[in-house]
Structure 1
């Protein structure tokens, strides 16, 4: 039985890590030794905080200031304005931007789907028993025309329900449980830690895992920057990629490290963090894997023409 998890709170502003020593700075020659990195206060971003706590950024002569953001879509204007240098984003937001002609680059893979990390949920006493029952119903997602609606639409198609046969409503994850309990919608698309929390209070149950079949193991989140920033700061980017890459490998191979760091920035209870389902922490930028997202977006009309994701990737140079 899963335990209750307190509501997810915004991560508090974290103290800046000291810059690297004079020797590091002189040999590194970073164009921008202090950078601001946007991150959502959810499990996806674990590697960023692992890298800070382990001193990986400091080893590169780099100071990283994490800035809490509330979604990949809102991060785009912040990196374009220079308020952020690099940001946590989801692939759908990034590929939508690229499809509009935005000069966006993916500089690191961050998080992938795993079983029961992104579920459709309904109230425990709901008459809805199968995905097919959602025809004509209302579904809550955190952001319209994004990863949630894409995953749900794919799941609906597998059950014989067309996209136009449901209505999507935007609602923040923390508010979805109460909205369902109040009858404001029929189902909600949730991720962890909200899946675990809402099965206890206010009392929801899983209807379907939206990351199965065509969406099994779907790439979810990435690190992005503007093409201009990448061109102007190649050494800084390489330093970030080396540090985050070390942390990502640690996260991929040792869940206890992830469990220890998540409460420091997400406020998920330490005792409860081990109960949530986690996705995967990819350790390379695999074009074939990421192309699946763009192809699915094309299938469901998110993109008007094919997108070759290889043109967006900036892989680590060592």
Structure 2
């Protein structure tokens, strides 16, 4: 009798263990792959030290990624266009990108997907600037002059060309030279170029410290409220890590919403990941922070690129956007 009781107790114990394991669902997987069963619980995300990717740093600081079981390491990059090779090599999982560079890369056969929105233009956030003593007064005066941009054939040159068109000029009437944003002020001061396409915080910095003048807001007319930047991953990465992607999308959307509704959150964050001090952060001009990708809004960028011959054929933007999913 005692033997039967022991055997029955043993069998009940085994059954209880199996029941607990079964009820835990993906519990074993979650333990081995990180919180919430993510395929890749730690990822590297490329971002420039400018206001555009503020929501990434807000999401890290507020624990939005942590709530999703995701650890995000922010990796500084020099430009959205330069992130493509790092995405392809796997050095970065997700990266900041500007939409012009992304659509251009996709048109050349690159397998990239846009996974979340980041930044949309606002008035006076992307200006053509000249030194205070420059003879250049209008965009028409840029004929035969050299303009600094952060990258060739990207959002900078496209934005400039929309303003050249209004002034009766084309890209053939000017010269472009590449220079990182932080170096543009000194380059203009020393005569290396005649004008520069500058974004914040460098607009405010060159105005206050060097007396630079604005000759054009490049986000007017055709480019008013133009979508500027988003988050990008490779198509293979998107397919391989759907739960990780979904966790990133949820957390970044939450941070975008916070950024769009409370400028103080952005002002508090900027000094922590950029060289923007608190005083400058409180006065710089900012664009907007959309919470979700909109194919209709982004199609405007692709159509503009087609008009200015950045693209040889139309792009259906819907095909470049990764599906929003719960993983």
> How high is the TM-score relative to the length of structure 1?
0.91
1:129 Cα deviation from its structure 2 partner:
1.1
Moved more, 75-84 or 169-178: 169-178
Structure 1 position 24, deviation (Å): 11
C-alpha distance in 2 between matches for 1:79 and 1:181? 35
Rg comparison, structure with higher value: 2
Superposition CA RMSD, Å: 1.4
Give 3-state SS (helix, strand or coil) of 2:209's partner.
Answer: coil
Q: Using CA pairs below 8 Å that are at least 6 residues apart, which structure has the higher relative contact order?
A: 1
- Asked if 1:268 is matched to 2:267, the reply is no
Matched position secondary structure for 1:248: helix
Q: Which residue is 2:108 aligned to?
A: 100
**Secondary structure of the structure 1 residue equivalent to 2:114:** strand
Residues 113-134 of structure 1 show CA distances to partners (whole Å, capped at 9, x for unaligned) of 0000000001111111111111
Q: How does 1:63-102 map to 2 (within 5 A)?
A: 63-102=71-110
Q: Which residue of 1 aligns with 2:146?
A: 138
Tell me how many residue pairs correspond in the alignment: 297
Q: Which has the higher helix share?
A: 2
Cross-structure match for 2:185? 177
Residue pairs, 1:43-58, within 5 angstroms: 43-58=51-66
Within-5 A mapping of 1:185-264: 185-264=193-272
> Could you list the per-position Cα deviations for residues 202-226 of structure 1 after superposition, in whole angstroms to 9, with x for gaps in the alignment?
2211111000000001110010000
Q: Aligned partners of 2:94 and 2:277: how far apart in 1?
A: 28
SS at match of 2:52: helix
Q: Is the 8 A contact 1:143 1:170 kept in 2?
A: yes
What SS does the corresponding residue of 2:208 show, helix, strand or coil? coil
* Contact 1:137/1:167 (<8 A) preserved: yes
| 1:291-310 equivalence runs, <5 A | 291-310=299-318
**2: distance between equivalents of 1:107 and 1:134?**
37
Residue 117, structure 1, aligned to residue 125, structure 2: yes
Unmatched tracts of structure 2, length 5 or more: 1-26
CA distance in 2, matches of 1:173, 1:48: 21
Give the secondary-structure state (helix, strand or coil) at the position aligned to 1:72. Answer: coil
TM-score for both structures, normalised by structure 2: 0.88
Q: Distance in 2 between matches of 1:200 and 1:275?
A: 11
Report the alpha carbon displacement of residue 315 of structure 1 after superposing the two structures with TM. 3.8
Aligned partner of 1:38 in structure 2 is: 46
Deviation, 1:109, is 0.7
- Per-residue CA deviations over 1:92-146 (Å, capped at 9, x if unaligned) read 1111110001110000010010000000001111111111111111111111111
